[in-house]
Amino acid sequence: MVSPDGGGSLSTPGRTYINELGNDGYNALVKKVIASFADFKRLSTAEREDVASEAIIRAVSRAQFDPSDQPVAYIKTIARNLALKKLNKLNKPQTEVAGVLMDHTDLDALASTAADTGEAEKEQELTDLAVEALGQVSPQQREVTVRRAREEKPSEIASELGVSTQQVYTQYHRALTKVRASPQISPFVREAYVRPSKGGE
């Protein structure tokens, strides 16, 4: 990792802060920032390092940057916001699918290990659970659900899969029922939308 020393875009306080850190101090700061979003397990090591470095550069480039006013906490906040944006971008296809599956959820019911976990992180956790549950339905049900999440028309899906439109509706609703009744999802779905799975298709 290369520290942003000597950058023309740095604010005067930011440049002073970076220079005083030195290479060892900068590397130690990067590790602290990375540790602040260690719960973002979908990000690779390289992606975490990039997020931490970008957060530092953004912070010290701002005119309002004040090295005397908890600069590390300020940088960590920027880093967590950047990490959330990166996660949302990486998981957009999964989020679309989960949005269809979980259109009646109670995000506040999700347990969180981090005291400062925000709603976006709760939603990501719920998305992961929904996608995992979707893997337990039949291949055709999964294909139909993914296509519906992409807003494809039932008639188009039916034509491409070689089934009737009615079968598309049937497979879609069976997938919803199975996923919403699965052990990892049912606690977070309103009771009215949970129906016990009867097995089979």
Q: Predicted confidence band at 164 (pLDDT cuts at 50, 70, 90)?
A: very high
Tens digit of each residue's pLDDT (9 = 90 or more) over 93-135: 455 555 555 554 443 343 333 334 455 566 666 667 777 777 7
Three-state secondary structure readout of the chain: CCCCCCCCCCCHHHHHHHHHHHHHHHHHHHHHHHHCCCCCCCCCHHHHHHHHHHHHHHHHHCCCCCCCCCHHHHHHHHHHHHHHHHHHHHCHHHHHHHHHHCCCECHHHCCCCCCCCCHHHHHHHHHHHHHHHHCCCCHHHHHHHHHHHCCCCHHHHHHHHCCCHHHHHHHHHHHHHHHHHCCCCHHHECHHHCCCCCCCC
Task: Tell me: pLDDT of 7 over 70.
Answer: no
> What value does the mean pLDDT of the chain take?
74
Task: Tell me: pLDDT of 35 over 60.
Answer: yes
Residue, of 169 and 189, whose pLDDT is higher: 169
> Mean per-residue pLDDT for 148-154?
80
> Mean per-residue pLDDT for 74-94?
76
Give the pLDDT score at 89.
64
